[in-house]
Structure 1
Amino acid sequence: MDIQELSDKIEITELLARYARGVDARDWDLWKTVFTPEAIIDYSSAGAVVGSRDEVASWLEKGLAAVPMTQHFISNVEIVLNRDRAKVRAMFYNPMHLPGMDQPSFCGGYYHHDMVRTEVGWRSERLVEENQWFVNPLEPPLSR
């Protein structure tokens, strides 16, 4: 692994940490910096929204305003680089306290990112969440 590949992988890993911090801090301007302006985000596997970066940021801001606690852990990051593009697969674990629930809820799965190197660094141009499991979900799922 050369220095450029190592640097790229560190930058991409830090981008994933920024994603988690943006969501959990409800800092939607920070969250948007993870993505290209034209990015598509797909949370449909969790019964949530699919849309552009700005559409999803707006949906998250409204939907998570009622959620008192979330914490995203991202691990087992796999990055396949191809010059100025990267395929990224990372596991997530997300404990949360959903509104109206007496007990905490938990979900986990994979984030699949298509990343591109831009003038301002690596950014995700496509995110697909692959939710593998959900303990104590809201019934019905969060509205779209």
Structure 2
Amino acid sequence: MTQRAEHSTVMDRLALDDLVTGYAIAVDDGDWPGYQALFTPDGRADYRSAGGIEGGVAEIAAWLGEMLRNFAMRQHLIVNRRITLARPDGAPGDTATVRADYLNPMRLAGPATEDEGGPTAPNYTCGGRYDFTARRTADGWRLTGVVVHEKWREVWCGGE
């Protein structure tokens, strides 16, 4: 591999890492226009393993906006990112996959008492794996698909 090709690969990997980070921030902040801007126009997402829906990015953004109103606090931690750049011949190219694990502590909306840890303590946590697909566009890397593979969840309802 030449230095130019290596530099390009590193820059692509950084851009894809930034794309996944942007995804987490948009979901956590409820920035649905920003969420949609991360995708290609034909982008799709599948949240069925977490009890959600599968569909186009506009439909998913509307569903997430409605569903996540139930949580006053959200924080996606997306880790162990495995980025693969590929062309049909196996060389780095204009499509990519990112497989990454996630941990997602959230706080259900509603009144909280000091005994419950106040408004910042999570009482709902889930974890699993994301499969992201992406394509290089004129505007940079954009998501073409997101599939959530929820592996576990824990809900704390208070008490002992």
When normalised by structure 1's length, the TM-score is 0.89
Asked if 1:67 is matched to 2:77, the reply is no
CA distance in 2, matches of 1:86, 1:128: 14
Q: Does 1:88 align with 2:98?
A: yes
More helix, by proportion: 2
1:125 aligns with 2:144: yes
Q: Alpha carbon RMSD of aligned pairs, Å?
A: 1.8
Aligned with 2:70: secondary structure?
coil
CA distance in 1 between partners of 2:18 and 2:104 (Å): 18
Within the candidate set 22, 37, 40, 2:26 is matched to 22
Corresponding letter in the other structure for 1:87: T
Q: Which residue of 2 aligns with 1:6?
A: 10
TM-score (norm 2): 0.81
The alignment covers a number of residue pairs equal to: 138
Gaps of 5+ in 1: 139-144
The residue number in structure 1 matching 2:153 is: 134
Aligned to 1:109: 128
Larger Rg: 2
What 5-or-longer segments of structure 2 have no aligned partner? 87-92, 117-121
Write the distance in 1 (CA, Å) between the matches of 2:136 and 2:96: 8
> Identity over aligned residues, as a percent?
37
